[in-house]
Amino acid sequence: MAKTKTTKASKKLKAHITYLEMSEPHIKVIPAPSRPATALMVARNITSNFYSYIYEMVGKPCHWLDRREVDAEDLYDIINDEACEIGILYADGCPAGFYELNLNNMPNDIEIKYFGIGPEYQGMGLGKWFLGLTIQAAWAHKPEKVTIETNTLDHPAALRMYQQMGFSPVGVGEAEIEAWE
Protein backbone atom coordinates (compact mmCIF):
# COMPACT_ATOMS: atom_id res chain seq x y z
CA MET A 1 0.00 0.00 0.00
CA ALA A 2 1.44 3.37 -1.01
CA LYS A 3 1.85 6.13 1.57
CA THR A 4 0.03 9.32 0.91
CA LYS A 5 1.41 12.62 2.00
CA THR A 6 -1.00 14.64 4.06
CA THR A 7 -0.68 18.37 4.07
CA LYS A 8 -2.20 20.74 6.51
CA ALA A 9 -4.59 23.11 4.82
CA SER A 10 -3.28 26.63 5.18
CA LYS A 11 -5.52 29.13 6.86
CA LYS A 12 -6.60 32.06 4.71
CA LEU A 13 -7.04 35.49 6.23
CA LYS A 14 -9.00 38.34 4.68
CA ALA A 15 -7.38 41.75 4.70
CA HIS A 16 -8.64 45.19 3.77
CA ILE A 17 -5.80 47.13 2.11
CA THR A 18 -5.37 50.91 2.17
CA TYR A 19 -3.00 52.50 -0.35
CA LEU A 20 -1.51 55.82 0.74
CA GLU A 21 0.76 58.44 -0.75
CA MET A 22 2.55 61.63 0.15
CA SER A 23 2.95 64.04 -2.77
CA GLU A 24 5.19 66.54 -1.03
CA PRO A 25 7.53 66.22 1.92
CA HIS A 26 5.57 66.54 5.16
CA ILE A 27 8.53 65.53 7.23
CA LYS A 28 7.70 65.77 10.88
CA VAL A 29 10.70 65.78 13.15
CA ILE A 30 9.92 63.47 16.02
CA PRO A 31 12.39 63.46 18.91
CA ALA A 32 14.21 60.21 19.46
CA PRO A 33 13.04 58.33 22.51
CA SER A 34 15.40 58.64 25.47
CA ARG A 35 15.26 54.88 26.02
CA PRO A 36 16.22 52.50 24.63
CA ALA A 37 19.42 53.71 23.00
CA THR A 38 18.69 53.69 19.25
CA ALA A 39 20.50 53.74 15.95
CA LEU A 40 19.37 53.51 12.35
CA MET A 41 21.80 52.16 9.81
CA VAL A 42 21.39 51.63 6.08
CA ALA A 43 22.38 48.03 5.40
CA ARG A 44 24.87 47.30 2.64
CA ASN A 45 25.54 43.78 1.34
CA ILE A 46 22.90 42.41 3.70
CA THR A 47 22.87 38.63 3.95
CA SER A 48 19.78 36.62 3.14
CA ASN A 49 19.84 35.02 6.59
CA PHE A 50 19.87 38.34 8.45
CA TYR A 51 17.18 39.79 6.20
CA SER A 52 15.00 36.69 6.70
CA TYR A 53 15.45 37.00 10.46
CA ILE A 54 14.38 40.65 10.60
CA TYR A 55 11.61 40.11 8.03
CA GLU A 56 10.14 37.31 10.13
CA MET A 57 10.56 39.22 13.39
CA VAL A 58 8.57 42.15 12.03
CA GLY A 59 6.36 40.47 9.43
CA LYS A 60 5.21 37.21 10.99
CA PRO A 61 2.69 38.81 13.40
CA CYS A 62 1.21 40.68 10.41
CA HIS A 63 1.31 37.66 8.05
CA TRP A 64 3.58 39.31 5.47
CA LEU A 65 3.98 36.96 2.56
CA ASP A 66 6.03 38.33 -0.34
CA ARG A 67 9.45 37.16 0.86
CA ARG A 68 8.50 34.10 2.95
CA GLU A 69 9.50 31.45 0.47
CA VAL A 70 12.05 33.19 -1.75
CA ASP A 71 15.20 31.08 -1.93
CA ALA A 72 18.35 32.55 -0.38
CA GLU A 73 20.14 33.30 -3.65
CA ASP A 74 17.18 35.11 -5.22
CA LEU A 75 16.52 36.96 -1.96
CA TYR A 76 20.14 38.13 -1.84
CA ASP A 77 19.81 39.54 -5.36
CA ILE A 78 16.53 41.33 -4.52
CA ILE A 79 17.69 42.94 -1.28
CA ASN A 80 21.08 43.98 -2.61
CA ASP A 81 19.80 45.42 -5.88
CA GLU A 82 20.62 49.10 -6.40
CA ALA A 83 16.88 49.83 -6.50
CA CYS A 84 16.44 48.57 -2.93
CA GLU A 85 17.40 50.43 0.23
CA ILE A 86 17.12 48.76 3.62
CA GLY A 87 17.51 50.54 6.93
CA ILE A 88 17.84 48.58 10.16
CA LEU A 89 16.62 50.01 13.46
CA TYR A 90 18.67 48.98 16.49
CA ALA A 91 17.54 49.32 20.10
CA ASP A 92 20.16 48.82 22.80
CA GLY A 93 22.35 47.25 20.11
CA CYS A 94 19.76 44.69 18.98
CA PRO A 95 17.87 44.64 15.66
CA ALA A 96 14.43 46.04 16.46
CA GLY A 97 12.88 46.78 13.07
CA PHE A 98 13.55 47.77 9.50
CA TYR A 99 12.36 49.68 6.48
CA GLU A 100 12.75 48.77 2.85
CA LEU A 101 12.46 51.31 0.05
CA ASN A 102 11.64 50.25 -3.49
CA LEU A 103 13.38 52.70 -5.82
CA ASN A 104 12.35 50.99 -9.09
CA ASN A 105 9.90 53.72 -10.14
CA MET A 106 12.21 56.68 -9.63
CA PRO A 107 11.84 59.57 -10.21
CA ASN A 108 8.04 59.12 -10.17
CA ASP A 109 7.74 57.52 -6.77
CA ILE A 110 9.41 55.61 -4.00
CA GLU A 111 7.47 52.89 -2.28
CA ILE A 112 8.04 52.16 1.37
CA LYS A 113 7.77 48.44 0.66
CA TYR A 114 8.23 47.32 4.25
CA PHE A 115 8.24 49.20 7.52
CA GLY A 116 7.88 47.84 11.00
CA ILE A 117 9.13 47.20 14.47
CA GLY A 118 9.32 43.79 16.13
CA PRO A 119 6.68 43.09 18.80
CA GLU A 120 9.27 43.16 21.60
CA TYR A 121 10.08 46.79 20.75
CA GLN A 122 6.56 48.12 20.23
CA GLY A 123 5.11 50.46 22.83
CA MET A 124 8.46 52.14 23.52
CA GLY A 125 7.80 55.30 21.52
CA LEU A 126 9.88 54.19 18.55
CA GLY A 127 7.16 54.06 15.86
CA LYS A 128 6.62 57.68 14.83
CA TRP A 129 10.28 58.54 15.27
CA PHE A 130 11.35 55.60 13.09
CA LEU A 131 8.66 56.34 10.49
CA GLY A 132 9.80 59.97 10.37
CA LEU A 133 13.36 58.84 9.60
CA THR A 134 12.06 56.40 6.98
CA ILE A 135 10.10 59.18 5.28
CA GLN A 136 13.21 61.40 5.34
CA ALA A 137 15.22 58.58 3.74
CA ALA A 138 12.62 58.22 0.98
CA TRP A 139 12.43 61.97 0.23
CA ALA A 140 16.24 62.19 0.17
CA HIS A 141 16.04 60.42 -3.22
CA LYS A 142 13.89 63.32 -4.54
CA PRO A 143 10.87 61.40 -5.86
CA GLU A 144 7.65 63.06 -6.99
CA LYS A 145 5.79 61.12 -4.29
CA VAL A 146 6.23 58.47 -1.62
CA THR A 147 3.78 55.59 -1.34
CA ILE A 148 3.01 52.98 1.29
CA GLU A 149 0.25 50.48 1.90
CA THR A 150 -1.15 48.90 5.00
CA ASN A 151 -3.85 46.38 5.74
CA THR A 152 -6.01 45.20 8.58
CA LEU A 153 -3.49 42.49 9.51
CA ASP A 154 -0.82 45.11 10.27
CA HIS A 155 -0.50 46.79 13.65
CA PRO A 156 -3.86 48.37 14.56
CA ALA A 157 -2.28 51.83 14.81
CA ALA A 158 -0.47 51.68 11.44
CA LEU A 159 -3.06 53.42 9.25
CA ARG A 160 -3.66 56.19 11.77
CA MET A 161 0.09 56.74 12.25
CA TYR A 162 0.72 56.93 8.49
CA GLN A 163 -2.00 59.55 8.17
CA GLN A 164 -0.67 61.52 11.15
CA MET A 165 2.72 61.58 9.49
CA GLY A 166 1.31 63.09 6.26
CA PHE A 167 0.16 60.19 4.06
CA SER A 168 -3.27 60.38 2.42
CA PRO A 169 -5.35 57.37 1.35
CA VAL A 170 -5.66 57.06 -2.44
CA GLY A 171 -7.26 53.64 -2.81
CA VAL A 172 -8.47 50.50 -1.12
CA GLY A 173 -8.55 46.82 -1.92
CA GLU A 174 -9.13 43.37 -0.51
CA ALA A 175 -6.78 40.40 -0.30
CA GLU A 176 -6.79 36.86 0.93
CA ILE A 177 -3.52 36.08 2.66
CA GLU A 178 -2.13 32.77 3.80
CA ALA A 179 -1.63 32.84 7.57
CA TRP A 180 1.97 32.69 8.77
CA GLU A 181 1.91 30.03 11.45
Give the C-alpha separation, 129 to 116, whole Å: 12
List C-alpha distances in Å: 179 to 54, 64, 77, 122.
18, 9, 26, 21
pTM: 0.90
Among 181, 171, 100, residue whose Cα is nearest residue 138: 100
Within a domain: residue 147? yes
Within a domain: residue 6? no
Q: What would the pLDDT profile of 82-119 be if each residue is shown by its tens digit?
A: 999 999 999 999 999 999 999 999 999 999 999 999 99
Within a domain: residue 59? yes
CB 85 within 8 A of CB 100: yes
Three-class DSSP category at 163: helix
Three-class DSSP category at 14: strand
**pLDDT higher than threshold 90 for residue 3:** no
Q: What residues pair up with 149 in beta bridges, in sequence order? A: 19
Containing 90, the helix (H) or strand (E) segment is strand 84-91
Q: What would the pLDDT profile of 153-164 be if each residue is shown by its tens digit?
A: 999 999 999 999
Within a domain: residue 138? yes
Within a domain: residue 1? no
Range of the domain at 66: 12-178
Within a domain: residue 67? yes
Q: What would the pLDDT profile of 129-142 be if each residue is shown by its tens digit?
A: 999 999 999 999 99
The total number of structural domains in the chain stands at 1
CATH number at residue 25: 3.40.630.30
